[in-house]
Amino acid sequence: MQQHAGQHILSAAFEQLFGFQTISFHLGKDTVTIDLNVTEVSEQQLKEAEQLANQIILEDRIIETKWVTEEELFNYNLRKATSLKENIRLVIIPDFDYNACGGTHPTSTGQVRSIKILQTERQKKIVRVEFICGERNLTHLHRKHQVLVNLVSTLSTPEDKIINATKNLLEQNSKLAKQVADLSNSLLAYEAKELRESAKGTTITCILENRSMQELQKLAKLVIQETPKSICIFVSNNQDKLQVVAAKGNDVEQSMKELIAHVLPYINGKGGGNERMAQGGGEKILTSEQLIEKVISYI
Ligand SMILES: [Zn+2]
């Protein structure tokens, strides 16, 4: 009843202040929405409509119902024309809202207690206004307050500084992420250099621990860039699986796709790639060393 009567009041407020008509409404479980037949509603207009609606509530005006005939309808300035011809029930908030409605309402506006607009959403030819009334306002406030209290303690920041503190954290976070990415790239470059320098032939192999496929590929790319006659085979020994990458330098004929396709069945693996670089992952049926041996013997 609070939400429903609140809808009557807020719709009437928009109409009276700005001539915005409510063309439809929806009573949800928690919130109500009304669709206004305009393409824009300013913050100031929202504020004024909310203020007027709450003023009508504060004045605790009577909400009366009256059965009228089609002829008697002309005595009332209805907010929305009705198509009913008989048994017309009017819901009246004197000097404010006259509306044909069959719903259940409280007996006075004061029982609606409060109206709070939550947000608006612009759609094609309307603006949808979402709001909340009465007891639900308290539940809503309680929930939001809990979130805020939690944030204040988590961030150790007073309430009025939470927004800035959060923005700073996010900024810091993206700076750090960039730094980590730069550092990882430099580290990979060093690793690649070391692998090239310690290589004993044209097949460069290495067993690594818990590396992502992306890292293995980057590393392989860095190594073969400067060793066109080499093939790189990198295996990462991860928690529950083995991952393998094979990459070749420009002067090597052999297909990495075929190479990987040949060894993956040994570890029930899946993967793919192209002639220059291929990769895959599978079960730890073999050790990393055994997997590398299979690759070398195929080469
Ligand atoms: Zn109603």
Q: With beta carbons less than 8 A apart as the criterion, state whether 105 and 5 touch.
A: yes
Ligand 1 centroid, distance to 30 Cα (angstroms): 18
Ligand 1 centroid, distance to 9 Cα (angstroms): 10
91 by Cβ neighbours in 10 Å (0-12 / 13-18 / 19+) ranks as: buried
Ligand 1 centroid, distance to 108 Cα (angstroms): 13
Under CATH, what is the fold of the domain 178-298?
Answer: Diaminopimelate Epimerase; Chain A, domain 1 (3.10.310)
Ligand 1 centroid, distance to 226 Cα (angstroms): 78
Cα Rg, the chain, nearest whole Å? 35
Q: Which residues surround ligand 1, an ion (CB under 5 A)?
A: 101, 103
Nearest Cα residue to 287 out of 209, 194, 204, 201: 209
pLDDT in tens, the chain (299 residues): 999 999 999 999 999 999 999 999 999 999 999 999 999 999 999 999 999 999 999 999 999 999 998 888 888 888 888 888 888 999 999 999 999 999 999 999 999 999 999 999 999 899 999 999 999 999 999 999 999 999 999 999 999 999 999 999 999 999 999 999 999 999 999 999 999 998 888 899 999 999 999 999 999 999 999 999 999 999 999 988 999 999 999 999 999 999 999 999 999 999 999 999 999 999 999 999 999 999 999 99
Q: Beta-carbon neighbour count of residue 56 at 10 Å?
A: 24
Indicate the domain borders of the chain.
2-138, 178-298
What pLDDT, on the 0 to 100 scale, is given for residue 87?
A: 85
What pLDDT, on the 0 to 100 scale, is given for residue 109?
A: 97
Ligand 1 centroid, distance to 37 Cα (angstroms): 20
What pLDDT, on the 0 to 100 scale, is given for residue 154?
A: 95
Ligand 1 centroid, distance to 24 Cα (angstroms): 13
Right CATH for 2-138 from 1.10.3720.10, 3.30.460.10, 1.10.10.10, 3.30.980.10: 3.30.980.10
Quote the tokens at residue 233: 């085979």
What's the order of all strands across the beta sheet hosting 203-209?
203-209, 231-237, 242-248, 277-282, 270-273
